[in-house]
Structure 1
Amino acid sequence: MWKKGIASAVLLLLIGLLVWNLLEPKEPAIGLENGDQAPDFELKTLDGQTASLSDYQGKKVLVNFWATWCKPCRTEMPDLDAIRSEYDQVEVLAVNLTTTEKSVDHVAAFADELKLSFPILLDQKGIQARYQVLSYPTTYILDEKGRIMSVKHQMLTKKEIEQELDL
């Protein structure tokens, strides 16, 4: 008789765990695919501050990987700046591949020349490798919760960005 009682208790426990797992809200996995939570990172900015991706939760974020020697990067920078200036709910984080640059001063001169207003993050830690960036520019488009909406391995225009972000 007590065996039936134990078997019933174990069965109820298993059913309870199954229901718990089905009803419990799941956090998206951290990864690089659409719908994944983008991996957080912390980098120094051109102006000496520290910025983390998680600092920008609540806004749509364009994480743009670029370098000064990349001609398509130079071409898209004004459009990225226009998006950030025109839409308060959007942030641009320009992650510079600093290890390939002549110097940080060269990066600063580039940003000054183009009058960029968004944060320039200096990637001396290999964040681009963590994000599997193989070509420049590459842009990760994130929603307000930091989930990846899409990844673009190309230069983007203002119009394309507005379409991606439903602006």
Structure 2
Amino acid sequence: MKRIILIVAILAMFGWAVYDFVIEDETTNEESSNSSESEDYMVSGEADGGNPEELETGLEIGSQAPNFELETLDGSVVRLSDFRGQRVMINFWATWCPPCRAEMPDMQKFHENTDIKILAVNLTESENSISDVSDFTEEFGLSFPILLDREDQVATAYEIIPIPSTYMVDSEGVIQHKAFGAMNYDMMVQEYEKMD
């Protein structure tokens, strides 16, 4: 029975990926034929830096990262917009995810060795309990903010399917890199060095 559920889940994820790719391709074609004015702006915005306030909010590289507000493990409230002017790594993860566990020590080292702001968004709805998240944080000695996405609202807004997933956002709030799957320390540093 477990094998059947696993196969159905894999097929559903594959089906969604194909559907998402086809719809995104159709949307891109429609946008390029229907809104050449907007495309011209994006091209000029990328070339000369453009005004990030005028960039369209989205999930593609070069788009303004969608703002969000979440409570941290220690009870404070964090907004992505609070970090404007600083480079930010938004990482979506869960305690039960083996690649997430493998990535965390590198994220902690990255946090310690750079001025990057890491927002580790825990998919809390998928966890057994908040204490699992606290235990995980202590086990790995994590000193960056752990954000609790209790109802998967931010994960949904960022269309997170595989975890870990990471968005690297520059000091203007613009997405500069996306990674689906674990990143190692060298990859993190490489992407960090490309950002303003």
Q: TM-score, normalised to structure 1's length?
A: 0.83
Instruction: Select 1:53's aligned residue among 61, 80, 83.
Output: 80
Tell me the amino acid that sits aligned with residue 127 of structure 1. Answer: V
Deviations along 1:52-83, one digit per CA (max 9) or x if unpaired, are 00111111111000000000001111111111
Tell me the equivalent position of 2:166.
139
Tell me the equivalent position of 1:64.
91
Tell me the amino acid that sits aligned with residue 95 of structure 1. Answer: V
Q: How does 1:103-142 map to 2 (within 5 A)?
A: 103-125=129-151, 126-142=153-169
Q: How does 1:1-167 map to 2 (within 5 A)?
A: 26=51, 27-88=54-115, 90-125=116-151, 126-166=153-193
Q: CA deviation at 1:143?
A: 0.4
Mapped partners of 1:61, 1:130: distance in 2: 17
Q: CA deviation at 1:124?
A: 1.4
5+ residue gaps in structure 2?
1-40, 42-49
Greater fraction helix: 2
> Which portions of structure 1, spanning 4 or more consecutive aligned residues, are displaced by more than 3 angstroms?
none
Tell me the amino acid that sits aligned with residue 126 of structure 2. Answer: T
What secondary structure does 2:156 align onto?
helix
What secondary structure does 2:117 align onto?
strand
Q: CA deviation at 1:149?
A: 0.3
Larger Rg: 1
Q: CA deviation at 1:44?
A: 0.3
Q: Report 1 or 2 for greater relative contact order, CA contacts < 8 Å, sequence distance ≥ 6.
A: 1
Matched-pair identity in %: 44
Tell me the amino acid that sits aligned with residue 127 of structure 2. Answer: E
Tell me the amino acid that sits aligned with residue 114 of structure 1. Answer: F
Tell me the amino acid that sits aligned with residue 117 of structure 2. Answer: E
What secondary structure does 1:108 align onto?
helix
Tell me the amino acid that sits aligned with residue 193 of structure 2. Answer: D
**RMSD, aligned α-carbons:** 2.1
5+ residue gaps in structure 1?
1-21
Q: CA deviation at 1:121?
A: 0.1
How many residues align structurally? 147
Mapped partners of 1:129, 1:104: distance in 2: 20
Mapped partners of 2:89, 2:108: distance in 1: 11
